[in-house]
Amino acid sequence: MSPRITLQTTGRILRQLRHDPRTIALLLVVPTVLLTLMRYIYGNEHLHVLVPGGHLVEGPRIFDTVGLTMLGVFPFVAMFLVTSVAMLRERTTGTLERLLTTPVHKLDLLLGYGLAFALAAAVQAAVATTVAYSLLGLKTTGSQWTVAGLAIGNAVLGMAIGLFTSAFARSEFQAVQFLPAFVLPQLLLCGLIQPRASMATWLQKLSDVMPMTYAVDALAKAGNDPGRMWRDVAVIVGCILVALVLGAATLRRRTD
Amino acid sequence: MDNAIEVRDLVVQRGGRRVLHELTSSVLRGSVTGLLGPSGSGKTTFMRCLVGVQRIASGTVTVLGQPAGSAPLRHKIGYLTQAPSVYADLTVRENARYFASLYGLSPAEADRAVSDVGLGTAAGQLVTTLSGGQRARASLACALVSKPELLVLDEPTVGQDPVLRNDLWQQFHELAAAGTTLLVSSHVMDEAGRCERLLLIRDGRLVADDTPDAVRAATGTDDLEEAFLRIVLAQEAAQEHPAAQEHPAQKQPDPEQPEQKASA
């Protein structure tokens, strides 16, 4: 592989994106709008926590936990979708086959996509976190930078998983259906809907092997105990690498 | 003799069906060779074998002295797929520049390739806004841009206007004169006459491998379309009556009947 080809590929993908201003607008505006909705759905409601002695005390503001988590979930979902469709297009339009007859290495292509969408995710995270902290009054123990960094990490995770799963889609219809198939189960089990500790053991075990569990957990810890988020970050990085390696394995130079 | 391509007993299976049957052939360096045959005859499969993206069942494919698909070859071959494989959401110029950059070539060289295929005035246009013929030429520019030693072009002139087609063929011959090897597929027989050598393929079998003149002489017609037909009919007759294969002249007294194979 060559850093030059990787960067040229990143540039090409960003130029494609630049010619599609509506997609850029959707990537930037949608997470912010959804966060704003959540802010007003929850208002200033607080969680109530049962403390030893049987008393209920007021816990953190709901928006500060759920809204924070969403800052990581939205980029994951958006990049998963964009990447699956982009990669599927490379396959169906023949550009992938052509690229594989040129000096492009599979890793150049995967890292090219990774870098391009990480940059897009960085802009997305910058907009979403700025709005969340300055206009929506989000409060976290960890800094805004930590949260933005995690949002970018989650975007790259979504991208890597999207690259891999797109290999199993034959059409764009299928690729889009992979969102409910691969992403929604992770969202249901990651502890957002029901705390993981109160789920049946087999569901907990299932959520243990789902990348989003760690993505959401990392953000929750950035909210209240940033010192303990690094184990989750390590798992996220590991998942990204595994998904990229699996993605590379699905890029077959020779096909039927 | 110096061959750019050597194929021996190439067999390709696809979906449990044999699509190439023990194909053996070679292509001279610095020549324009036509790969002709009807749609579905195996032309594209054969070309994919040469550029190393087709899984093969058996046989050997040697390109520029190396096994097809080996890494060093990727700097030396240009492949034009049948359906235009360019990024529809980039301009013609951006497409050519990207493919040029993969070989470490400058934007100026990419721009030259774009004007060589007659898209100089459309260079700033998004590929989605182009006509089918223009799209095909944008794709061709991306194959020509690296000035490869071997160009494998799958139907490069389909849908082009006659003047442009003429111009493209002229360019192909100029490239060959400068040492490039070109393998050009077509399903239109009137393009066969423009090639120095013809590979006629039907149902995954090579039915003729010769110069256009030799094919004409062997079949007794100047019309290459007619020549192809005669070769195919003669082979079918030979398959139905295997004895005819040994003494075609005796069994088929009609003087218009061609030799059973126009191969050298």
| Per-residue pLDDT reduced to its tens digit, B180-229 | 999 999 888 888 889 999 999 999 999 999 999 999 999 999 888 888 88
pTM over 0.90: no
Residue appearing with tokens 């890597």:
A160
Query: pLDDT at position B242, please?
Result: 67
Please say whether the beta carbons of A73 and A214 come within 8 A.
no
Q: Check CB contact of B75 with chain A, cutoff 8 Å.
A: yes
Nearest to B86 among A15, A95, A255 (CB): A95
Query: Which chain B residue shows the shortest CA-CA distance from A252?
Result: B53
- In which domain, by residue range, is B137 found? 81-147
Is B102's CB within 8 Å of A5's CB? Answer: yes
Q: How far is C-alpha B232 from the geometric centre of its chain's CA atoms?
A: 20
Amino acid occupying residue B144? L
Is A15's CB within 8 Å of B94's CB? Answer: yes
Angle subtended at Cα A29 by Cα A154 and Cα A12, rounded to the nearest 5 degrees? 65
Cα dihedral A150, A116, A106, B139 in deg (nearest 10): 160
Query: pLDDT at position A214, please?
Result: 95
**Residue B261 phi, psi dihedral angles, 5° rounding:** -145, 130
* Tally of CA atoms within 13 A in the half-sphere of A42 that contains its CB: 21
Exposed e or buried b per residue across A111-127, where buried means at least 16 C-beta atoms within 10 angstroms of its C-beta: bbbbbbbbbbbbebbeb
**Residue B253 phi, psi dihedral angles, 5° rounding:** -65, -20
Chain B residues 81-100 within an 8 A CB cutoff of chain A: 81, 83-91, 94, 98-99
Q: Check CB contact of B55 with chain A, cutoff 8 Å.
A: yes
B130: how many CB neighbours lie within 10 A of its CB?
A: 20
| Tokens representing residue B108 in the block | 């100026």
Query: pLDDT at position B224, please?
Result: 87
Task: Identify the CA nearest to B81 among candidates B111, B49, B41, B48.
Answer: B48
Sequence-distant (≥ 6) Cβ neighbours of residue A41 within 8 angstroms:
none
Query: 3-state DSSP call for residue B19?
Result: strand
Cross-strand pairs, B28: B3
Please say whether the beta carbons of B77 and B69 come within 8 A.
no
Query: pLDDT at position B253, please?
Result: 43
Q: Kindly provide the ipTM of the predicted complex, given to two decimals.
A: 0.88
Query: pLDDT at position B262, please?
Result: 44
Residue B199 lies inside a defined structural domain of this protein: no
Boundaries of every domain in chain A? 3-250
- Parts of chain B with a pLDDT under 70: 1, 242-264
Please say whether the beta carbons of B204 and B19 come within 8 A.
yes
CA distance A195 to A109: 39
Query: pLDDT at position B235, please?
Result: 85
CA distance A157 to A215: 9
CA distance B113 to B115: 6
* List of chain A residues whose C-beta atoms are within 8 Å of the C-beta of residue B85: 93-95, 97-98
Kindly write down the DSSP assignment for every residue of A205-234, as one continuous string. HHHHT-HHHHHHHHHHHHHH-GGG-HHHHH
Nearest to B85 among A20, A98, A103 (CB): A98
Query: Which chain B residue shows the shortest CA-CA distance from A15?
Result: B90
Residue A82 Cα, gap to closest chain B Cα (Å): 14
Amino acid occupying residue B198? L
End-to-end CA distance of chain A: 25
Query: Which chain A residue shows the shortest CA-CA distance from B53?
Result: A254
Residue A189 Cα, gap to closest chain B Cα (Å): 37
Kindly write down the DSSP assignment for every residue of B95-134, as one continuous string. HHHHHHHHTT--HHHHHHHHHHTT-GGGTTSBGGGS-HHH
Full pLDDT tens readout for chain A, 256 residues: 899 999 999 999 999 999 999 999 999 999 999 999 999 999 888 888 888 888 888 888 889 988 999 998 999 999 999 999 999 999 999 999 999 999 999 989 999 999 999 999 999 999 999 999 999 999 999 999 999 999 999 999 999 999 999 989 989 899 999 999 999 999 999 988 888 889 999 999 999 999 999 999 999 999 888 889 999 999 999 999 999 999 888 888 888 8
CA distance A113 to A106: 11
* List of chain B residues whose C-beta atoms are within 8 Å of the C-beta of residue A8: 98, 101-102
* List of chain A residues whose C-beta atoms are within 8 Å of the C-beta of residue B84: 94
Please say whether the beta carbons of B215 and B262 come within 8 A.
yes
| H or E stretch at A46 | strand A46-51
Residue B100 lies inside a defined structural domain of this protein: yes
Query: Which chain B residue shows the shortest CA-CA distance from A91?
Result: B85
* List of chain B residues whose C-beta atoms are within 8 Å of the C-beta of residue A11: 98
* List of chain A residues whose C-beta atoms are within 8 Å of the C-beta of residue B91: 19
Q: Check CB contact of B79 with chain A, cutoff 8 Å.
A: yes
Number of structural domains in chain B:
1
Q: Check CB contact of B54 with chain A, cutoff 8 Å.
A: yes
